[in-house]
Amino acid sequence: MGRVTETKRIRTVRVRDGRLYAGRKGDHVAVEEPLDIRLNGQQLSLTMRTPGSDVELIHGFLHGEGIIASREDIVEARYCDGAVVDDGSGFAQNTYNVMDFTTARPQLQQVPTKRFTTTSACGVCGSESIDAVRQKGRYVLMGSWTVDPRAILDAARNLTDDQAVFSRTGGVHAAALVTRDGEVLVVREDVGRHNAVDKVIGWALLEDRLPLNDCFLLVSSRASFEIAQKAFMAGIPLLACVSAASSLAIDTAQEVGMTLVGFTRAFDDGDGRMNVYTHPERLDLTDAEG
Protein backbone atom coordinates (compact mmCIF):
# COMPACT_ATOMS: atom_id res chain seq x y z
CA MET A 1 0.00 0.00 0.00
CA GLY A 2 1.12 3.55 -0.68
CA ARG A 3 1.96 6.08 1.99
CA VAL A 4 -1.02 7.10 4.12
CA THR A 5 -1.59 10.85 4.18
CA GLU A 6 -3.47 12.06 7.24
CA THR A 7 -2.73 15.77 6.79
CA LYS A 8 -2.41 18.11 3.83
CA ARG A 9 -0.44 21.33 3.64
CA ILE A 10 -2.28 24.37 2.31
CA ARG A 11 -1.82 28.14 2.22
CA THR A 12 -4.28 30.50 3.88
CA VAL A 13 -4.93 34.23 3.93
CA ARG A 14 -5.15 35.37 7.53
CA VAL A 15 -7.43 38.21 8.56
CA ARG A 16 -7.70 39.94 11.94
CA ASP A 17 -10.12 42.74 12.84
CA GLY A 18 -11.15 43.05 9.20
CA ARG A 19 -7.58 43.57 7.99
CA LEU A 20 -5.07 41.38 6.23
CA TYR A 21 -2.89 39.86 8.89
CA ALA A 22 0.53 38.34 8.21
CA GLY A 23 -0.28 37.69 4.54
CA ARG A 24 -0.34 34.13 3.25
CA LYS A 25 0.79 31.47 5.66
CA GLY A 26 1.24 27.73 5.39
CA ASP A 27 -1.10 25.53 7.39
CA HIS A 28 -2.07 21.88 7.77
CA VAL A 29 -5.58 20.45 7.50
CA ALA A 30 -6.87 16.95 8.21
CA VAL A 31 -7.43 14.79 5.16
CA GLU A 32 -11.00 13.63 4.56
CA GLU A 33 -11.64 11.02 1.88
CA PRO A 34 -14.43 8.52 1.09
CA LEU A 35 -14.09 4.87 2.01
CA ASP A 36 -16.31 2.49 0.05
CA ILE A 37 -16.86 -0.54 2.31
CA ARG A 38 -17.82 -3.73 0.53
CA LEU A 39 -18.81 -7.08 2.01
CA ASN A 40 -18.33 -10.14 -0.16
CA GLY A 41 -18.09 -7.95 -3.23
CA GLN A 42 -21.27 -5.98 -2.56
CA GLN A 43 -21.36 -2.37 -1.39
CA LEU A 44 -22.32 -2.04 2.25
CA SER A 45 -21.41 1.49 3.28
CA LEU A 46 -19.78 4.70 2.15
CA THR A 47 -18.14 6.72 4.91
CA MET A 48 -15.97 9.82 5.00
CA ARG A 49 -12.84 9.24 7.03
CA THR A 50 -9.22 10.22 7.60
CA PRO A 51 -7.06 7.60 5.80
CA GLY A 52 -5.17 5.24 8.08
CA SER A 53 -6.14 2.17 10.11
CA ASP A 54 -8.83 1.31 7.54
CA VAL A 55 -8.75 -2.39 8.44
CA GLU A 56 -9.37 -1.56 12.08
CA LEU A 57 -12.10 0.90 11.14
CA ILE A 58 -14.04 -1.63 9.08
CA HIS A 59 -13.66 -4.42 11.64
CA GLY A 60 -14.97 -2.04 14.30
CA PHE A 61 -17.85 -0.89 12.09
CA LEU A 62 -18.91 -4.45 11.22
CA HIS A 63 -18.74 -5.46 14.88
CA GLY A 64 -20.71 -2.44 16.05
CA GLU A 65 -23.49 -3.27 13.61
CA GLY A 66 -23.61 -6.88 14.79
CA ILE A 67 -22.41 -8.29 11.46
CA ILE A 68 -19.28 -9.97 12.85
CA ALA A 69 -18.32 -11.18 16.33
CA SER A 70 -14.59 -11.86 16.03
CA ARG A 71 -11.67 -11.55 13.64
CA GLU A 72 -12.21 -15.17 12.56
CA ASP A 73 -15.40 -14.04 10.82
CA ILE A 74 -13.25 -12.27 8.20
CA VAL A 75 -10.97 -14.35 5.97
CA GLU A 76 -9.74 -11.61 3.66
CA ALA A 77 -9.53 -7.82 3.62
CA ARG A 78 -8.19 -6.15 0.50
CA TYR A 79 -8.18 -2.83 -1.28
CA CYS A 80 -9.97 -2.93 -4.62
CA ASP A 81 -9.15 -1.21 -7.88
CA GLY A 82 -10.48 2.19 -6.95
CA ALA A 83 -8.00 3.69 -9.39
CA VAL A 84 -7.72 7.12 -10.93
CA VAL A 85 -5.46 8.40 -13.69
CA ASP A 86 -2.50 10.45 -12.58
CA ASP A 87 -2.64 13.64 -14.62
CA GLY A 88 1.11 13.94 -14.57
CA SER A 89 2.21 10.51 -15.69
CA GLY A 90 -0.89 8.96 -17.26
CA PHE A 91 -0.47 5.84 -15.11
CA ALA A 92 -3.36 4.54 -13.03
CA GLN A 93 -2.92 4.78 -9.27
CA ASN A 94 -4.91 3.03 -6.58
CA THR A 95 -6.67 5.55 -4.36
CA TYR A 96 -7.02 3.01 -1.50
CA ASN A 97 -10.56 4.23 -0.98
CA VAL A 98 -12.40 0.98 -1.81
CA MET A 99 -12.06 -2.03 0.49
CA ASP A 100 -13.71 -5.46 0.30
CA PHE A 101 -14.06 -7.82 3.25
CA THR A 102 -14.75 -11.53 2.68
CA THR A 103 -16.58 -13.38 5.44
CA ALA A 104 -15.90 -16.90 6.64
CA ARG A 105 -19.29 -18.20 7.72
CA PRO A 106 -22.01 -18.99 5.15
CA GLN A 107 -24.65 -17.06 7.11
CA LEU A 108 -22.54 -13.92 6.73
CA GLN A 109 -22.26 -14.19 2.96
CA GLN A 110 -25.47 -12.28 2.35
CA VAL A 111 -25.02 -8.53 2.61
CA PRO A 112 -27.61 -6.99 5.00
CA THR A 113 -30.55 -5.44 3.19
CA LYS A 114 -30.02 -2.26 5.19
CA ARG A 115 -27.50 0.08 3.56
CA PHE A 116 -25.44 2.45 5.65
CA THR A 117 -24.77 5.97 4.45
CA THR A 118 -22.39 7.68 6.84
CA THR A 119 -20.63 10.99 7.11
CA SER A 120 -17.70 12.16 9.19
CA ALA A 121 -20.13 14.12 11.37
CA CYS A 122 -23.13 12.00 12.25
CA GLY A 123 -22.23 8.34 11.90
CA VAL A 124 -24.87 5.93 10.71
CA CYS A 125 -28.13 7.74 10.16
CA GLY A 126 -31.37 5.97 11.04
CA SER A 127 -29.80 3.38 13.34
CA GLU A 128 -32.01 0.96 15.24
CA SER A 129 -33.82 1.76 18.46
CA ILE A 130 -32.41 1.10 21.92
CA ASP A 131 -34.35 -2.16 22.13
CA ALA A 132 -32.81 -3.36 18.88
CA VAL A 133 -29.34 -2.47 20.17
CA ARG A 134 -29.95 -4.50 23.32
CA GLN A 135 -31.05 -7.47 21.23
CA LYS A 136 -27.87 -7.29 19.15
CA GLY A 137 -25.59 -7.03 22.17
CA ARG A 138 -23.43 -10.07 22.90
CA TYR A 139 -22.09 -9.04 26.29
CA VAL A 140 -23.54 -8.17 29.67
CA LEU A 141 -21.78 -5.13 31.08
CA MET A 142 -19.95 -5.95 34.29
CA GLY A 143 -21.76 -4.72 37.38
CA SER A 144 -19.04 -5.20 40.02
CA TRP A 145 -16.75 -2.71 38.33
CA THR A 146 -15.31 0.48 39.80
CA VAL A 147 -12.77 3.04 38.70
CA ASP A 148 -11.09 5.94 40.44
CA PRO A 149 -12.35 9.17 38.80
CA ARG A 150 -8.76 10.42 38.87
CA ALA A 151 -7.82 7.71 36.35
CA ILE A 152 -10.42 9.14 33.95
CA LEU A 153 -9.16 12.69 34.49
CA ASP A 154 -5.53 11.65 34.01
CA ALA A 155 -6.41 9.91 30.75
CA ALA A 156 -8.29 13.00 29.53
CA ARG A 157 -5.34 15.20 30.51
CA ASN A 158 -2.88 13.02 28.61
CA LEU A 159 -5.05 12.40 25.55
CA THR A 160 -3.87 15.55 23.80
CA ASP A 161 -0.27 14.32 23.92
CA ASP A 162 -1.28 11.29 21.87
CA GLN A 163 -3.10 13.29 19.17
CA ALA A 164 -0.42 13.91 16.56
CA VAL A 165 -2.85 14.83 13.78
CA PHE A 166 -4.88 17.13 16.03
CA SER A 167 -1.76 18.95 17.16
CA ARG A 168 -1.00 19.81 13.53
CA THR A 169 -4.53 20.53 12.31
CA GLY A 170 -6.94 21.02 15.21
CA GLY A 171 -9.45 19.22 13.00
CA VAL A 172 -9.86 15.61 14.15
CA HIS A 173 -11.47 13.66 16.96
CA ALA A 174 -9.75 11.04 19.09
CA ALA A 175 -10.85 7.86 20.85
CA ALA A 176 -8.85 5.91 23.41
CA LEU A 177 -9.21 2.62 25.25
CA VAL A 178 -7.98 2.97 28.83
CA THR A 179 -7.64 0.38 31.58
CA ARG A 180 -9.08 1.01 35.03
CA ASP A 181 -5.53 1.70 36.22
CA GLY A 182 -5.25 4.52 33.72
CA GLU A 183 -3.08 2.78 31.13
CA VAL A 184 -3.87 3.98 27.63
CA LEU A 185 -3.94 0.91 25.38
CA VAL A 186 -4.60 2.58 22.04
CA VAL A 187 -5.48 5.98 20.58
CA ARG A 188 -6.86 6.62 17.10
CA GLU A 189 -7.79 9.87 15.34
CA ASP A 190 -10.26 10.66 12.57
CA VAL A 191 -12.36 13.49 11.18
CA GLY A 192 -15.37 11.39 12.22
CA ARG A 193 -15.79 10.75 15.93
CA HIS A 194 -17.58 7.47 15.22
CA ASN A 195 -14.72 6.41 12.92
CA ALA A 196 -12.19 6.98 15.69
CA VAL A 197 -14.28 4.73 17.95
CA ASP A 198 -14.55 2.06 15.25
CA LYS A 199 -10.77 2.13 14.85
CA VAL A 200 -10.00 1.47 18.53
CA ILE A 201 -12.67 -1.22 18.83
CA GLY A 202 -11.45 -2.76 15.58
CA TRP A 203 -7.95 -2.77 17.05
CA ALA A 204 -9.24 -4.58 20.15
CA LEU A 205 -11.12 -7.13 18.02
CA LEU A 206 -7.99 -7.88 15.98
CA GLU A 207 -6.03 -8.26 19.23
CA ASP A 208 -8.63 -10.71 20.63
CA ARG A 209 -9.41 -8.35 23.52
CA LEU A 210 -13.22 -8.38 23.29
CA PRO A 211 -15.20 -7.99 25.43
CA LEU A 212 -13.53 -4.87 26.79
CA ASN A 213 -14.94 -5.38 30.26
CA ASP A 214 -11.86 -4.06 32.06
CA CYS A 215 -11.55 -0.81 30.08
CA PHE A 216 -13.32 2.46 29.57
CA LEU A 217 -13.70 4.38 26.33
CA LEU A 218 -12.61 8.03 26.24
CA VAL A 219 -13.61 10.27 23.32
CA SER A 220 -12.56 13.85 22.64
CA SER A 221 -16.01 14.74 21.33
CA ARG A 222 -19.59 14.59 22.51
CA ALA A 223 -21.21 11.23 23.18
CA SER A 224 -23.88 10.38 20.63
CA PHE A 225 -26.18 7.38 20.34
CA GLU A 226 -23.86 5.76 17.79
CA ILE A 227 -20.88 5.93 20.14
CA ALA A 228 -22.86 4.55 23.07
CA GLN A 229 -24.08 1.74 20.82
CA LYS A 230 -20.57 0.84 19.69
CA ALA A 231 -19.28 0.87 23.27
CA PHE A 232 -22.08 -1.41 24.44
CA MET A 233 -21.53 -3.84 21.58
CA ALA A 234 -17.86 -4.10 22.63
CA GLY A 235 -18.75 -4.78 26.27
CA ILE A 236 -17.37 -1.47 27.58
CA PRO A 237 -18.90 -0.60 30.99
CA LEU A 238 -17.98 3.12 31.02
CA LEU A 239 -17.94 5.80 28.33
CA ALA A 240 -16.36 9.18 29.05
CA CYS A 241 -16.53 12.14 26.71
CA VAL A 242 -14.85 15.53 26.83
CA SER A 243 -18.01 17.32 25.71
CA ALA A 244 -21.72 16.75 26.31
CA ALA A 245 -23.88 13.67 25.80
CA SER A 246 -27.02 13.55 23.70
CA SER A 247 -30.37 12.58 25.18
CA LEU A 248 -30.48 9.31 23.24
CA ALA A 249 -26.95 8.42 24.33
CA ILE A 250 -28.03 8.93 27.95
CA ASP A 251 -31.18 6.86 27.47
CA THR A 252 -29.18 4.09 25.82
CA ALA A 253 -26.53 4.04 28.55
CA GLN A 254 -29.18 3.96 31.27
CA GLU A 255 -31.03 1.11 29.60
CA VAL A 256 -28.02 -1.14 28.93
CA GLY A 257 -26.32 -0.50 32.28
CA MET A 258 -23.44 1.66 31.07
CA THR A 259 -21.85 4.48 33.05
CA LEU A 260 -21.84 7.64 30.93
CA VAL A 261 -19.62 10.56 31.88
CA GLY A 262 -19.64 13.94 30.16
CA PHE A 263 -17.75 17.24 30.32
CA THR A 264 -14.63 15.40 31.45
CA ARG A 265 -12.26 18.28 32.07
CA ALA A 266 -8.82 17.85 33.58
CA PHE A 267 -6.99 20.92 34.84
CA ASP A 268 -3.24 21.51 34.83
CA ASP A 269 -3.10 21.63 38.63
CA GLY A 270 -4.18 17.99 38.75
CA ASP A 271 -7.79 18.71 39.63
CA GLY A 272 -10.75 18.27 37.31
CA ARG A 273 -14.47 17.76 37.00
CA MET A 274 -17.02 15.63 35.20
CA ASN A 275 -20.76 15.10 34.96
CA VAL A 276 -22.02 11.56 35.54
CA TYR A 277 -25.25 10.95 33.64
CA THR A 278 -25.90 7.28 34.35
CA HIS A 279 -24.86 4.51 36.77
CA PRO A 280 -22.52 6.52 39.05
CA GLU A 281 -21.97 3.44 41.21
CA ARG A 282 -19.00 2.50 39.02
CA LEU A 283 -17.07 5.55 40.17
CA ASP A 284 -15.04 4.94 43.34
CA LEU A 285 -16.02 8.29 44.83
CA THR A 286 -15.31 7.29 48.43
CA ASP A 287 -11.70 6.40 47.57
CA ALA A 288 -11.27 9.61 45.57
CA GLU A 289 -12.53 11.75 48.44
CA GLY A 290 -10.71 9.86 51.12
Residues 227/251, Cβ–Cβ less than 8 Å: no
122 belongs to the catalytic site = yes
The 3-state DSSP class for residue 90 equals: coil
Gap between the Cα atoms of 180 and 289, Å rounded:
18
In whole angstroms, give the CA distance from residue 104 to residue 218. Answer: 32
Which residue spans within 125-271 are E strands per DSSP? Answer: 173-179, 184-190, 215-219, 238-241, 259-266
* β-sheet bridge partners, residue 100: 38, 78
Q: Cα dihedral sign for 60, 253, 140, 155?
A: positive
3-state DSSP helix/strand/coil % of the chain, to nearest 5: 30, 35, 35
- 36 near 82, Cβ under 8 Å? yes
**Given 80, 122, 215, 241, the catalytic residue:** 122
How far is Cα 214 from Cα 142, in angstroms, rounded to an integer?
9
Give the count of alpha carbons within 13 A of 229, CB side only.
Answer: 28
Contact 239, 261 (CB under 8 A): yes
**Other C-beta atoms lying within 10 Å of the C-beta of residue 125:** 10
To 5 degrees, how large is the angle CA 59–CA 65–CA 69?
55
The length of the chain in residues reads 290
Positions annotated as catalytic residues are 122
